[in-house]
Every structure is written in structure tokens, then in C-alpha cells.
Amino acid sequence: MNKINSYGTGLVAGLAVFFGLMVGAIIMLVSGFNPVTGYISLVQSALGSSLNIGEVLRSMTPLILTAAGFLVAQSAGFFNIGLAGQVWVGWIASTWFVLVNQSMTPWLSIPLAVIIGALAGALMGALPGWLRAQFGASEVITTIMLNYIALYGGNAFVQGLPKKLMATTDMTNTLHASDSLRWDFLSNLTGGSRLNIGFIIAIVALVAVWFIMKRTTLGFEIRAVGLNPDAARYAGMSAKRTAVTAMTISGLLAGLAGATEGLGTYLNIFSQTAAPQVGYDGMAVALLASGSFLGIFFAALLFSILSVGGLGMPLASGVPTELVSVVTASIIFFIVANYLIRLILVKIDEDDAKQKAKKMKGPKEPEKKVEEAE
């Protein structure tokens, strides 16, 4: 069984990406497009200039943070589908704070805004964790419902802001670059892209979460509760407290992702028709990473290349951008199917072990009977 489980990291993720790309290639062929030309144009569109590379790194920022948040919750045995709503409240809270405090020096307002955005997401994450711990409420249901509450409540909040803060009825004024996470050095380095300090924040946060989960008592407790709540409780760990803590950290990282979107990418708040997609994409990145924090970085890089490169495919090769979504969905499918395949392999392995055990016992039983007869 251990041998089978050893195939569950880089190899399986690599195969999932390969099969996903193959599915995309087959669909391109059926649709009358050249898959080789399509994928070459995708890579060139994503990595063919410093501007596009900067946009790829910028796109990675919220994916790294939301994927890390999902992985923390998953380690504790929770499925946090509320990342999108947590991103949205973090986005609103952080950007709103800067909008209403533009007289404050940016050296103070920006760090405070990032912290406020992270805390807003943490609160949204802690609530379903508390409901699960106290009442056994499914975090899947509560986080889905909270996504809608965050979406429509956030839109109502934005539309109700004072007129002096609004550019239109659905969009706030745009922040000046000096009141944001933008940094001229990063922008100039990448040909005027929107790459900002948020990328650095994401990398630092990823390393910090890895350290917490792998090198601290808190991380050990979160993983222990996720593996076996009863055994963890018997060892003196509080499963309820750990549940709330894990979901709080997960929400905090998602709120931080929202802050980087509002203060680094868009520089304003505007009404959304759906909860931010980066929340859902972050879950896919975490699944592709297969529980590895280093894997999160490379999975986020892949998804960002697909996202940014897909925008240039229609112009370069005529392949519609919808095919990029097909490739992404196919990769996720093979990642999820991997869990089913692994369960089947484990079952086969157990059956083989039982049969071998029976064969080993078979010849010994007659020998014992002969000895007894003598």
C-alpha cells in the first residue's frame, strides 16, 4: 500500500497535466485546429515578452494564497469552498480602508489595509469552522451559502458607498499608484505589467504557512486532527479549537489574496456578477499540488500560463480561449480521478496480499495434521 501511495505526488500531477493537454489537443483536432500551433501560441502569448511574464506572475499571486488556504483547511479534514467569498470580503475591506483614508501616509495605510483585508477573510473562514465545531454543520454547505452572502452583501455595500468615493453607481474611484501595492521597479522590470508587491507577499506567506504546518506544534495538531480526530482527541488535542483555527488561517490567506487583487491588480472595487473566480481556481491549484506547498507554486504557474496565454490564442492561431478552460477542467478531472484510481489500486493490493497469505498458510496445515497423527 505504501508503494502505491508513493505515486501520489509529482508523477500523478504530471500525468494529470499531460492527459489534460492531450484531451485539449484531441478537441482541437476534432474542431479543425492544429494543436501544436495552438499550444505554441499559448506559450508564446504567456512567456513571449516581459510584459506577459509579469502578468503571469501577477496572476499567480491570488492563486498561491487561495491554494495555500485550501490546503490548510484540507489538512484539518475540511473542504473550504468559501474561498471565493473570503477573497471578495478581503478585497472590499482592504480597498475601502485606503479609499476612506487617503490623507494617511501610504507607508501606514497600505500595511493596515492588507492586515484588515486578511482579518476580514479570517472572520469569514472562522464562522463555518465554528459552526462545524459547535453544531456539526457541514462546512461545504455553510461556505457555499456564505459565498452568496459575501457576494450580494458586498455588492450592496459597494453601491451604498458615499458618492464622493464612486466613479459610477457600481464602481469606486481608482486608487493612485502611490496608494497601492504597485511598485514602479517591478512594473518597469516587466514591461509595464501589473506585477506588484502582492507577489512577494504571496511567496512569503507560502513559506510561512509551510513552516507552520511542517515545523510547529500547531501544524502538527491540524494534520493530526485531519488524519484521525478521535486519536487526536485522545492525545489531548482539542478538535474543535483546531477546526476553528484551521478555517481561520484558510480564510486569512484568502482575504490576503483579495487584498492583493484590490490594492495590487485593480486598484478599486466594482460590483461582481459572481464571487471572484480566483477562489475556485485556488482549489484546483491545491488539488494539482497534491498536498505539496512547493507544488502550489508550480501549479499556480501552470494555471497562470494557461490563463494569460489563452488570451492570445485566438489572435495567434485562431483557437478559441474556451479550449483553455477545457484543458484546465480536464487536468482537474484527472487529478480527481486519481483518487478513485488509487483507491482501486489499494484494494487490489490488499486482495493480492490476502491471497499470498492464504497460499503461505496452505502447505503448513497438512504438515501439522501429520505430526498430530504420529
Q: Which residue has the cell 491549484?
A: 285
Do residues 173 and 108 lie in contact, with contact meaning Cβ atoms separated by under 8 Å? no
HSE toward the beta carbon, residue 92, CA cutoff 13 A:
28
| For residues 214-237, average pLDDT | 90
Measured CA to CA, the distance from residue 287 to residue 231 in angstroms comes to 26
* Cα–Cα nearest to 174, from 194, 188, 200, 197: 194
Do residues 61 and 264 lie in contact, with contact meaning Cβ atoms separated by under 8 Å? yes
Pairwise pLDDT comparison (291 vs 204), residue with the higher score: 204
Non-local (6+) Cβ contacts of 260 within 8 A are: 61, 62, 65, 181, 196, 198, 201, 202
| Contacts by 230-237, CB closer than 8 A, 24 or more apart | none
- Is this structure's pTM higher than 0.85? yes
Q: Provide the pLDDT for residue 1.
A: 41
128: pLDDT strictly greater than 50 = yes
Measured CA to CA, the distance from residue 129 to residue 118 in angstroms comes to 17
Q: Provide the pLDDT for residue 181.
A: 97
List strand residue ranges (DSSP E) for the chain, in order: 166-168, 171-172
Res. 351 pLDDT band, cuts 50 70 90: low
Mean confidence (pLDDT) of the chain: 88
2: pLDDT strictly greater than 50 = no
| For residues 249-264, average pLDDT | 98
Measured CA to CA, the distance from residue 23 to residue 33 in angstroms comes to 13
Share of the chain above pLDDT 70, in %: 88
| For residues 81-110, average pLDDT | 96
**What percentage of the chain's residues is helix, strand, coil (to nearest 5)?**
80, 0, 20
HSE toward the beta carbon, residue 29, CA cutoff 13 A:
7
HSE toward the beta carbon, residue 266, CA cutoff 13 A:
21
Do residues 213 and 75 lie in contact, with contact meaning Cβ atoms separated by under 8 Å? yes
Give the amino acid at 284: A
Q: Give the DSSP letter string of 228-260.
A: -HHHHHHTT--HHHHHHHHHHHHHHHHHHHHHH
Do residues 99 and 173 lie in contact, with contact meaning Cβ atoms separated by under 8 Å? yes
Q: Provide the pLDDT for residue 348.
A: 61
Q: Provide the pLDDT for residue 4.
A: 40
345: pLDDT strictly greater than 60 = no
HSE toward the beta carbon, residue 12, CA cutoff 13 A:
23
| For residues 208-233, average pLDDT | 92
Do residues 109 and 98 lie in contact, with contact meaning Cβ atoms separated by under 8 Å? yes
Q: Provide the pLDDT for residue 7.
A: 47
